[in-house]
Amino acid sequence: MTLWAIYWTFFKFGLLCFGGGYMLVPLLSAGLVGTSPGAVLTPEAFANLISIAQVTPGPVGINTATYVGFTQQGVFGAILGTLGIVTPALGLVILAVKLLKKYEKSVPVQGFLAGMRPASFGLVLSAAVIFAELSVFRTAIPWGKFWNILNGTGDGIGGFGVNLGCALIAIITVLVLFKTKFSFVAWLLICALFGVFFCR
């Protein structure tokens, strides 16, 4: 990617990233991750990146933009990726401070919120599926093969399977973080330790 392409790609992500950093995950995985010609990160590199971004200080979205930019064009790529993702917000936050109160009850603003909130909910959940395909499941979920099995034209599920250690971690994490005030960063470090033994 050229420097300009890095800036422009992350500018678009900054414009679409409703509801925080996890929204970046579906955007990145649709745009930059994989083995297609436009992709610049392998799924494995993407998984490493997200783990690192989550347990180092700083906003996860900025960490991600910096890392991807760096892998493409070194320090300048890192700077441009980061600037790209924050540029739209610089204008939009100021605009919202000036206008949001006045037009809060208007049809466009109410309609925007009515569509944006459930969409970001669905896409944040899809981030969980994407992460599960990088840990809990051994391959991407083969939806097409499942469909063929239902059709009666199935030829098995390929290498698809579940990593039991990872599945256990995911389930226990939901229980711990939803029911207790346990610090999730400390919890993720426990997950790393558990993973050394049970997720190989």
Partner 1 sequence: MNSAISHYSEIIASRRNWILFFGYVKITGVVIGGGYAIIAAAQEEFAHRRKWLSEDDILEMITVTQTVPGILACNSAIYIGWRINKFAGALCALFGAILPSLIIIVAIAAAIGAMSHFIDNEYVQGAFRGVIAGIVGLVIVTALKMRKKALVGAFGRLIAIGCLIGMCVFKVNPAWLIVASIALGIVKVAFKYAEKRP
User: Is residue 158 close enough to count as binding partner 1 by CB under 8 A?
Assistant: no
Instruction: Give the nearer residue to partner 1 in terms of CB position, either 122 or 161.
Output: 122
User: Is residue 84 close enough to count as binding partner 1 by CB under 8 A?
Assistant: no
Q: Least CB distance from residue 2 to partner 1, whole Å?
A: 19
Residue 90 vs residues 15, 96, 106, 130: alpha-carbon distances, Å:
11, 10, 23, 29
Among 3, 8, 51, 157, binds partner 1 (CB under 8 A): 51
Q: Exposed/middle/buried for 4, CB within 10 Å: 0-12, 13-18, 19+?
A: exposed
Three-state DSSP class for 79? helix
Total of residues contacting partner 1 (CB under 8 A): 110
Instruction: Give the nearer residue to partner 1 in terms of CB position, either 152 or 197.
Output: 197
Instruction: Give the nearer residue to partner 1 in terms of CB position, either 5 or 167.
Output: 167
**How far is residue 181's CA from residue 191's CA, in Å, rounded to a whole number?**
16
**115-144 residues near partner 1, rule: CB under 8 A:** 115-132, 134-136, 141, 143
**How far is residue 24's CA from residue 63's CA, in Å, rounded to a whole number?**
11
